[in-house]
Amino acid sequence: MTRVGGQGGSPAAPRAVDVARLAGVSQKTVSRVFNAERYVSDDVRRRVLGAAEELGYRMNSAARALASGRTRSIGVVTLGTALYGPASLLIGIERAARDAGYALRVVNTLEGDRGGVAGAVESLLEQGVDGIVVSEPIDESDEGSVSLSVDVPVLVLGAPATFGGPRAVTAGVGAESLARAATEHLLDLGHVTVHHLAGPQRWFAARDRLGGWRAALSARGRLQPPVLEGDWSAASGYAAGRELASAGDVTAVFAANDDMAIGLIRALTEAGLRVPDDVSVVGFDDIPVSAYVTPPLTTMRQPFDAVAHEGLRLLVQAIEKPDAEPAPANDPPVELVVRASTAPPVARTTPARGRRSASRSNGSAHAPPAGNGPPATD
């Protein structure tokens, strides 16, 4: 384990002492410069930076972590899916973390991976992260809701803070109130009731949306049709759409995300039902294509980026000022984007041929000729 000098392969990476020697200062002073500590004269700082540049010096973060007990990194537990929501959150988290001077370590938990979150958290702790973000966890436990208990600060996104242990923080708008607003939009249009195509109920986000839908209907004393459950995919939305189409009495559906809404609309369309003339559909998330599908989708936009930033602000505060009060989260703004997939219900006098609703904003909502061959399943 001797440092090989110049010969053989690349020369050993320069260390702080090497920089110190070249700059004519002590190793400790180099450390001071690189940590932007106080009490370093401008002259010395310049010499050190110059020497570092000359040698191509890079700090060894493992050594720093060992000596300081902090890694300046944040671990993220996220689901191994390319779904728009989790992916957007991850991006927002990375950016916010970097802005705060933290590196990111990522562990995925695959759905169906029992004890996935706990295992992922364990592996992050082993890596010595200073804080942990649990993004959109799913509840795989049999014994009801689990709760992590770790010593580092935890931020939970898309689930109750208690999921992350007693001292965890959370951020984001309650999905429940958003779901409620989406449902109310349909009721306000005059629909007698609203069907719900729910997400997988092991997801907290899916439960919240279901709850919001229930709340909206209850509040107006409307009856709650049976709930369909999908898996967030357009394919599952399509399957649900076929069921709903055969049910026959459906005029409005609130889908728990846009992908399912798109599959749903496809199935309805194939069954000869027109959206929104016969059935109104509201999605959730406002994924980028939602404005361009046929018909353009009315949906609840989620402020993923704002949520990630707000959450990270809280997490970093918990890391750096453990004693300060956990400043209450500023709820980011949310927005129901009304496009062309929702309209007032049409009296079903004529079997399947309602009056066209007044043309709505941008989308000349052409109903495509029904009966295009069903798409490949999955």
Q: For binding to DNA (CB under 7 A), which residues are involved?
A: 1, 3, 12-13, 15-17, 24-29, 31-32, 34-35, 38-41, 43-44, 57, 59-60, 63-64, 66-69
DSSP code, position 275:
T
* Number of chain residues interacting with a second copy (CB under 8 A): 73
Neighbours of 233 (CB within 10 A): 18
Interatomic CA distance for residues 13 and 111, integer angstroms? 42
368 binds, among a second copy, DNA, none (CB under 5 to 8 A by kind): a second copy
Q: Where is 283: in which H helix or E strand?
A: strand 280-285
CB-nearer residue toward a second copy: 190 or 272: 272
- Give me the DSSP letters along 88-137: HHHHHHHHHHHHTT-EEEEEEE-TT-TTHHHHHHHHHHHTT-SEEEEES-
Q: Minimum CB separation from a second copy for residue 220, in Å?
A: 29
130 binds, among DNA, a second copy, none (CB under 5 to 8 A by kind): none
CB-nearer residue toward a second copy: 128 or 344: 128
To the nearest 10°, report the CA torsion of 113, 118, 121, 122. -110
Considering only residues 282 through 301, tell me which ones interact with a second copy, judged by CB under 8 A. Answer: 288-289, 291-296
Interatomic CA distance for residues 99 and 321, integer angstroms? 17
CB-nearer residue toward DNA: 297 or 316: 316
Binding mask 10-29 for a second copy (x = CB under 8 A): x-------------------
* 126 interacts with a second copy by CB under 8 A: yes
233 binds, among a second copy, DNA, none (CB under 5 to 8 A by kind): a second copy
CB-nearer residue toward DNA: 42 or 142: 42
Tell me which of 28, 46, 98, 321 binds a second copy, using CB under 8 A: 98
Tell me which of 233, 280, 299, 302 binds a second copy, using CB under 8 A: 233
Q: Minimum CB separation from a second copy for residue 192, in Å?
A: 25
Q: Minimum CB separation from DNA for residue 48, in Å?
A: 9
Residue 328 burial by Cβ neighbours in a 10 Å radius (0-12, 13-18, 19+): exposed
CB-nearer residue toward DNA: 321 or 353: 321
* 259 interacts with a second copy by CB under 8 A: yes
Interatomic CA distance for residues 64 and 331, integer angstroms? 36
Interatomic CA distance for residues 304 and 287, integer angstroms? 11
31 binds, among a second copy, DNA, none (CB under 5 to 8 A by kind): DNA
15 binds, among a second copy, DNA, none (CB under 5 to 8 A by kind): DNA
Residue 59: phi, psi to the nearest 5? Answer: -65, 150
Interatomic CA distance for residues 244 and 266, integer angstroms? 12
Token pair, residue 247, equals: 């049910």
* 360 interacts with a second copy by CB under 8 A: yes
* 262 interacts with a second copy by CB under 8 A: yes
Q: Which residues contact 322 (CB under 8 A, 6 or more apart)?
A: 153
Binding mask 313-352 for a second copy (x = CB under 8 A): ------------------------x-xx------------
375 binds, among a second copy, DNA, none (CB under 5 to 8 A by kind): a second copy
- Give me the DSSP letters along 173-227: --HHHHHHHHHHHHHHTT-S--EEEE--TTBHHHHHHHHHHHHHHHHTT---PPP
